[in-house]
Amino acid sequence: MSIQKAILLAAGAGARMRPLTLTTPKPLLPVGNKPLMGWILEKAFEAGIQDVLINVSYLGDQIQSFYKNQPHLHFSVEPTPPFETAGAIVNVLPFFENKPFLSLNGDSLWQDVGTPALKRLFDAWDPVTMDALLLLVPKAQAFGFEGPGDYFYNDGALVRRLDPIPTAPYINTGVVLFSPDLFKDEALRPFSNLMMYDKAQAKGRLFGVIHDGPWFHFGTPEAYHEGVPLFLKAGAP
């Protein structure tokens, strides 16, 4: 199935990244010769995505100005505080024309090894059995992540780690394929995609693909300053 539309989630205030984000939204922070979100958009278009909707709120005018007059980029301006990740999708659900779509976080990057991660994700998508398909990364391949891990993986099916289980081997990268059906009965409100993952898991329709390259999460200034050179080095010929 061809996946043609995506949402790039870029509305957050990036509070943990201050002072870097006091005057610049996190998705526009420089990573080499382009903004952080520029790398994400590039991978999406290379994978065959035709149109990307970017949700904006905090310093969103800067993002709109930077990417103005680009016909394949669209914007959803949210209030302050914004609708969070799942609320952002409910707010623009008609944009996806009742077809599966890609969701991307605006604060993390990945490097491909071999077959690009998005192609692997698209090839694994099965609308008959899946409502959400997550790109996972083993903790050893994750830079800037300090948590206990998110998911257990069993032949593609996922189970989320819950307390008191101390750790799980895989991290959710925030790169996700969704069925629009998962959101259709949800009211517009601020809420997280984590609720959507749990909803899909409860129906046995939550699956994952394990990424085989490095993943970089820029959650703090320290992670950003240390991670950007590593990301650029990992992508060097």
- Output b/e per residue, 52-90; b: 16+ Cβ within 10 A: bbbbbbbbbebbeeebeeeeebbbbebeeebbbbbbbbb
Nearest CA among 36, 9, 28 for reference residue 92: 9
User: Omega of the bond prior to 164 within 30 degrees of 0, cis?
Assistant: yes
Residue range 62-120, pLDDT digits in tens: 999 999 989 999 999 999 999 999 999 999 999 999 999 999 999 999 999 999 999 99
To the nearest 10°, report the CA torsion of 106, 172, 166, 17.
-10
In the block, tokens 């993986």 appear at 153
234 — pLDDT class (breaks 50, 70, 90)? confident
Question: Percent of the chain at pLDDT above 90?
Answer: 94
Q: Is the pLDDT of residue 182 over 80?
A: yes
Pick the CATH number of 5-234 from 3.90.550.10, 3.40.50.1000, 1.10.3720.10, 1.20.120.160: 3.90.550.10
The predicted model scores a pTM of 0.95
Q: Is the pLDDT of residue 126 over 90?
A: yes
How distant is the alpha carbon of residue 124 from its chain centre? Answer: 17
Q: Is the pLDDT of residue 236 over 80?
A: no
Q: Is the pLDDT of residue 141 over 90?
A: yes
